[in-house]
């Protein structure tokens, strides 16, 4: 299902094809990923219309336990967070270009950036670097 011009729901699903958290109904889950896709369109435009690849989208609690057990409340489990790679930009460059622009959570890792809309849940903006 196409969410926006350049982002498809398939890209947000986990390896098992799941995308709806147990505590959210399908309408809300869809609304959240549409909102995230719209903000990713803005990021894409801001980076000169470069392709953006989602490297990790939805995570079940079990996925999260396996991938990053240190984070108790992951936005990947709330349909509000993704890890991305932007073609032609290093994660450091993306972090610098978005830090004053992105409203939610923005993380810098060696291979990717984490972007989330935690502000949708009333949570404060966050920035972190894990290099
Ligand atoms: Zn992430």
Read off the tokens for 110: 């060696």
Alpha-carbon span 88 to 33, nearest angstrom: 25
Number of compact structural domains in the chain? 1
For residue 21, the model assigns a pLDDT of: 96
In a domain, 118, yes or no: yes
Neighbours of 10 (CB within 10 A): 13
Q: Let me know if residue 23 belongs to a domain.
A: yes
Residue 75 has pLDDT above 90, yes or no: yes
Cα gap 48→11, rounded to integer Å: 21
> Quick check: is 88 in a domain?
yes
Q: Are 52 and 40 a contacting pair, CB within 8 Å? A: yes
User: Is residue 90 in some structural domain?
Assistant: yes
Distance 48 CA to ligand 1 centre (A): 23
**In this structure, what CATH number is given to the domain that contains residue 32?**
3.30.1380.10
68 lies in which domain range?
9-130
Predicted local distance difference test score (pLDDT) of residue 73: 85
The pLDDT of residue 13: 98
Neighbours of ion ligand 1 (CB under 5 A): 83, 114
Q: How many angstroms is it from 82 CA to the middle of ligand 1?
A: 5
Is residue 3 domain-resident?
A: no
pLDDT tens-digit map of 25-50: 999 999 999 999 999 999 999 999 99
Does pLDDT of 70 surpass 90? no
Q: What is the pTM of this model?
A: 0.96
Q: What is the 73 CA–ligand 1 centroid distance (Å)?
A: 11
Please state, in angstroms and rounded to a whole number, the distance separating the CA atoms of residues 122 and 112: 25
């Amino acid at each position: 299902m196409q969410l926006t011009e350049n982002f498809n729901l398939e890209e947000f699903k986990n390896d098992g094809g799941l995308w709806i958290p147990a505590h959210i109904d399908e309408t809300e889950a869809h609304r959240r990923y549409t909102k995230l896709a719209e903000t990713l369109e803005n990021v894409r435009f801001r980076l000169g219309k470069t392709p953006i690849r989602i490297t990790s989208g939805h995570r079940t609690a079990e996925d999260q336990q396996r991938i990053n057990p240190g984070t108790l409340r992951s936005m990947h489990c709330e349909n509000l967070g993704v890890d991305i790679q932007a073609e032609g930009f290093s994660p450091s460059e993306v972090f610098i270009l978005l830090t004053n622009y992105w409203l939610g959570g923005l993380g810098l890792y060696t291979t990717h950036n984490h972007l989330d809309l935690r502000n949708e849940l009333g949570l404060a903006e966050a920035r972190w670097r894990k290099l």
